[in-house]
Structure 1
């Protein structure tokens, strides 16, 4: 956490931390308090994710093109992420469309895994925002499954199924190695894995 607020301001990326623990003021990170949502392990995690998307849309919906959800055990290569969206052919991405990026589940390929993090466009968040209350009550199996079910439900309800392609890989990803990775999951305390270990094992970015 001590480095969470050290992000190059020129990247156009902001961080909102959702936590049920106290966050020291010196970190200067906008924080959403989860204490009002009772949880045990992964229980009610989908409620937390829907709640954070409500607040993020209200406060940041008009300011950003894309929104990424990431857990606290994910390492994100922020500059790689920014480069992927902003330094590639701009025609590849349309933040006003229904876009949903991440690592597709091998069995339900339209759904992005929650662990490595996923990204939704402003258009997607705008679409589902009015229905998040319904989705909270209807979909609560797992947060990644619930979000996918919510997007799928709303696109069908509004006859936008043809516009929803499901979980998509980012366009400049060509084969897996550490150099190409944007996120690494999961990095947990005590597993003694460092970013140098990963770079040595899987190779640096060319």
Structure 2
């Protein structure tokens, strides 16, 4: 028993000594390595890559040069596709697209709208505060900023009525971060007459008895609605000519001149005009104000968005091209899509 305890004692002492040697050696060489590396970097400068903040994908999409997107002008682009119905609708349901923008956005946002969905409008106008003959834009001589959006919109529709009334039957207002699928818009409008006093968009409920349509999601006026706005509404003084909240002021004016809210949901009650980017309407996470305002219950999820969606808002410039690809090129092999809802 005594011998066993003695051997155990010797083993414990040797273990402690061995561990101390290893600890000292590790400290010595790690310290030396640190010293050597510090010395080397002082002589040569830091060889490590600088620390930079991570780049968000959406930020990257906000900073890009215009892209030449293959499309309608290329005779080989999807040459076997049959777009007969879409071409016929383009002739029978004529849409003028008015894109609200400003001078500072032309090269960063508006150019990408110009390169993508607006090519499918029958007529497109980019309306700003000042005229730019190169882009081009139409200037309406109203100050920039959110507090002038109503005045800018009213002046824009006055200009359209005076100069382009016969160029279209329907008149779409959209922002320079809105993406619109024109074929689906014409599909919605086809059963209606432009002689009806009606306008379509994403329906909100407050402020106006019949509600109003979201400005960001885009809204479209019939020719009769445009006529009443310019002839009866604006001169009456009942339509706010300037100020914040362009879409609700437009809604109040539409109600005053007898233009009714049109139902833009599909036959299954799913939304077609959208106030946010596609992922927001699929995944949810709406702000509180939207939940209170939305006339259809602020639904989200794949089953709440129409197969014939018309618009999305807050679309980053780069994602304009992504949507062009997803809508007009991507297809699942072996599946023929039905035209019904």
TM-score by length of 1: 0.71
Pick closer, same or farther for the CA change 1:137–1:75 going to 2, 3 Å. closer
Instruction: Name which of 177, 180, 188 aligns with 2:305.
Output: 177
**Alpha-carbon deviation of 1:84?**
3.4
CA drift of 1:153 comes to 1.9
Mapping for residues 142-181 of structure 1, pairs under 5 Å: 142-155=245-258, 164-169=259-264, 174-175=269-270, 176-177=304-305, 179-181=307-309
Q: Confirm or deny that 1:94 pairs with 2:193.
A: yes
Query: What secondary structure sits across from 1:38 in the alignment?
Result: coil
Shift of 1:169: 1.1
The answer to whether the Cα contact below 8 Å between 1:66 and 1:120 also exists between their aligned partners in 2 is yes
Change in 2 beyond 3 A, CA 1:94/1:170: farther
What residue is the counterpart of 1:38 in the other structure?
143
Q: What SS does structure 1 have at the residue aligned with 2:179? A: strand
Q: CA deviation at 1:190?
A: 7.9
Within 5 Å, give how 1:48-87 maps onto structure 2. 48-86=152-190
Find the counterpart in structure 2 of residue 19 from structure 1: 128
Query: Is the 1:45–1:143 Cα contact (8 Å) retained in structure 2?
Result: yes
Please list every run of 5 or more consecutive structure 2 residues that lacks an aligned counterpart in the other structure.
Answer: 1-110, 271-303
1:125 aligned to 208, 226, 240, which one?
226
Contact 1:101-1:170 within 8 A present in 2 as well: no
**Higher helix fraction (1 or 2):** 2
Residue 78 to residue 43, structure 1, CA distance change in 2 (3 Å): same
CA RMSD of aligned residues (A): 3.6
Q: What is the Cα deviation at residue 2 of structure 1?
A: 5.0
SS in structure 2 of the partner of residue 114 of structure 1 = coil
Gaps of 5+ in 1: 87-91, 156-163
Q: How many residues align structurally?
A: 184
1:103-162: CA deviation from partner (whole Å, max 9, x where unpaired): 10144552111111000100011112123242555673411011111122223xxxxxxx
Higher relative contact order, structure no. (Cα contacts within 8 Å, ≥ 6 residues apart): 1
TM-score (norm 2): 0.46
From the CA coordinates, give the structure whose radius of gyration is larger: 2
Question: How far 1:61 sits from its partner (Å)?
Answer: 1.3
